């Protein structure tokens, strides 16, 4: 007589007898398992491929679409690009990076450009009228013949050889802009008007005599 405990049989002679477990062979069940594994593998590969494609697309955005969304919220690249004549008017471009870009005759009228960088950019003939340029960086930028009418440049940076020659600054606010003395003297010769947003007179913000 044998006793069974946890699939181990003990005979009356105390010699353990292993109880065999019958194998189950179900072709239909095996096929279903195989199909599930195949589908799971295909789904993983598809997801990985999609992620790779989306990641790659971030590096190949056409410059004409670069301004959409603006700054850290946009998906475009505006640094080191030729964006001459592009229309950015009224766009929200907070902290947007335009470093070393060519922006000749670009339209930024009424754009929100707080903290944007125009470091070493060429803005010749661009329209920045009514733009919010607080804390923007114009270091080494070419701001020749630019329309800065009624723009708010409070706290903007203009270090280096930033040139404002031929620019219109009627109503522009230069509060706390660290200008070189030669820059200040030049701007004071053409300064006039009052900024409609801050109520500050352009000449006063430039500390003109």
Asked if residue 68 has pLDDT above 50, the reply is no
Asked if residue 13 has pLDDT above 70, the reply is no
Mean of the per-residue pLDDT values for the chain? 79
Bridge-partner residues for 10, per DSSP? 3, 16
Tokens 């990985």, residue located: 48
As a whole number of angstroms, the distance between CA 153 and CA 108 comes to 14
Please state the pTM of the whole predicted model.
Answer: 0.66
| CB contact at 8 A, 171 and 190 | no
Query: What's the confidence (pLDDT) of residue 53?
Result: 47
Query: What's the confidence (pLDDT) of residue 34?
Result: 58
Per-residue CA distances from 168 to 7, 51, 103, 179 (Å): 95, 48, 17, 17
| CB contact at 8 A, 115 and 93 | no
| CB contact at 8 A, 134 and 154 | yes
Q: Of 22-31, 55-64, 157-166, 177-186, which gets the smallest average pLDDT?
A: 55-64
pLDDT, tens only, 115-130: 999 999 999 999 999 9
- Name the CATH superfamily, with its identifier, for domain 86-209: E3 ubiquitin-protein ligase SopA (2.160.20.80)
């Amino acid at each position: 007589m044998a006793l069974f405990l946890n699939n181990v049989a003990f005979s009356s002679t105390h010699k353990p007898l292993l109880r065999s477990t019958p194998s189950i062979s179900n072709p239909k069940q095996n096929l279903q398992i195989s199909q599930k594994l195949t589908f799971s593998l295909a789904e993983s590969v598809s997801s990985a491929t999609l992620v790779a494609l989306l990641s790659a697309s971030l590096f190949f955005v056409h410059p004409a679409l670069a301004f959409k969304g603006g700054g850290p919220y946009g998906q475009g690249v505006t640094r080191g690009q030729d964006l001459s004549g592009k229309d950015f008017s009224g766009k929200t471009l907070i902290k947007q990076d335009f470093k070393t870009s060519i922006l000749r005759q670009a339209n930024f009228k009424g754009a929100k450009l707080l903290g944007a960088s125009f470091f070493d950019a060429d803005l010749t003939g661009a329209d920045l009228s009514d733009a919010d340029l607080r804390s923007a960086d114009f270091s080494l930028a070419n701001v020749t013949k630019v329309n800065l009418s009624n723009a708010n440049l409070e706290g903007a940076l203009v270090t280096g050889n930033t040139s404002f020659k031929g620019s219109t600054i009627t109503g522009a606010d230069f509060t706390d802009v660290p200008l070189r003395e030669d820059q200040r003297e030049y701007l004071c010769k053409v300064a006039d008007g009052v900024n409609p947003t801050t109520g500050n007179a352009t000449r006063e913000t430039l500390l003109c005599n």
